[in-house]
Amino acid sequence: MTNDDLSLLVETSDEWIRTRTGIRKRHLATTDLSLSELSAQAATQAIAMANLTANDVDLIILATSTADDLFGSAAKVQAILQANRAVAFDLTAACSGFVFGLITASQFIRTGVYKNVLVIGADILSRWVDWSDRSSCVLFGDGAGAVLCQGSTDEDRLLGSAMYSNGEQHEALNIGYDGTGKKLKDGITVNQGTYKPITMKGRDVYRFAVEKVPEVIEKALFNAQLTTDDVDWLILHQANQRIIDSVAKRLKIPPQKVIANLDEYGNTSAASIPLALDEAVRQGKIKPGEIIASSGFGAGLTWGAVIFRWGI
Ligand code: UT7
């Protein structure tokens, strides 16, 4: 779906969207594609790249805010993959979900509980976008990405991390529940309804991102006993090219070390970091042993960073 396509839906233009966000187009899931199937496609490719089979996977963490089922979609992904030994659960932290998932995976690996952990970031936000709201509908796209994290006896490649939440700013970005009372009997009324489309205070989220993302990356680098000079690649959640440029500038990381693909995909929420990582690895940009600084940020509000050494 291009910017020009969107300008037929709402009062906007390719020029406005490109200059304010850096986005040129976004990919939208077809009506019959489930989040579980999209996730499983990404997961299959990650397992193959790791030279493993689905049976080797011990744990599946599905970072998503748009599960097919409010009870979770991770177990469905496990079934599609036939990852018969794996336990699977969803993790909801909006656009921070993939980074939170990676850090969660590392805890299970470090404690020796699990060896092979699949972390999937996937979202189909097109199902929750208000397609008449030009201030938000131009931003989002659908996607899925996955990594296979494997315990190793020679080196812990998750070098540092940091995570934060601030529920005081919860109203800045929501897919809120909206229900009304349904009386079951005198004195007992329950609330029944569904979720409303995305609402967003764009400027507040923008300000939050440019302030907190450099801080959290510096904190994660400090925990890793590294500096920005040690970073080979910066991969931020792909929300807005201006946010990416501002964060890189503040950290004094040169543009040639910054990976961005939101011009093609828009903001794919929990999928954006693994999508960008996967493309950069497959293009041969990211090489084994290189150090990646990554940060996710978004609804909650939540934000986090992870510093890791690429292992394949
Ligand atoms: O995963 C995290 C998800 N959220 C984000 O990352 C959002 C972060 N925020 C942003 O990326 C930016 O705030 C936006 C891209 C959402 C908006 O950019 P902005 O530079 O902050 O624009 P604005 O909201 O201050 O709006 C400027 C003008 C307004 O018109 P007036 O009031 O100045 O006349 C808006 O009504 O642009 C107007 N506008 C648009 N015009 C054309 C807002 N959306 C559009 C649009 N096309 N799509």
**Per-residue model confidence as pLDDT tens digits over 191-211:** 999 999 999 999 999 999 999
3 Cα: distance to centroid of ligand 1 (angstroms): 14
Q: Give the residue, by CA position, lying nearest to ligand 1 atom 8.
A: 206
Q: Give the residue, by CA position, lying nearest to ligand 1 atom 12.
A: 202
Domain with CATH 3.40.47.10 in the chain: 3-150, 158-168+199-309
Query: Rounded to 5, what percent of the chain is helix, strand, coil?
Result: 40, 25, 35
The whole-number average pLDDT for the span 28-43 is: 98
Question: Residues with beta carbon inside 6 Å of ligand 1?
Answer: 12, 16-17, 20-21, 95, 134-135, 138, 173, 200, 202-203, 205-206, 239-240, 267, 298
- Quick one: tokens of 144? 């899925």
Share of the chain above pLDDT 90, in %: 98
205 Cα: distance to centroid of ligand 1 (angstroms): 11
Cα dihedral value 30, 33, 37, 41, nearest 10: -20
Q: How confident is the model at residue 228 (pLDDT cuts 50, 70, 90)?
A: very high
d(CA 249, CA 242): 10
Q: Which residues are catalytic?
A: 95, 237, 267
Q: Give the residue, by CA position, lying nearest to ligand 1 atom 25.
A: 203
Looking at domain 158-168+199-309, its CATH superfamily turns out to be Thiolase/Chalcone synthase (3.40.47.10)
65 Cα: distance to centroid of ligand 1 (angstroms): 23
The whole-number average pLDDT for the span 146-160 is: 94
263 Cα: distance to centroid of ligand 1 (angstroms): 16
pTM score of the predicted model: 0.96
Q: Which is nearest to 270 in space by CA: 116, 105, 67?
A: 67
d(CA 56, CA 48): 11
- Domain 3-150 grouped into CATH 3.40.47.10: yes
The whole-number average pLDDT for the span 110-130 is: 97
- pLDDT on residue 187: 97
Mean pLDDT rounded to a whole number for the chain: 97
Q: Give the residue, by CA position, lying nearest to ligand 1 atom 48.
A: 134
From 206, 210, 268, the mutation candidate for ligand 1 (largest count of ligand atoms within 8 A of CB) is 206
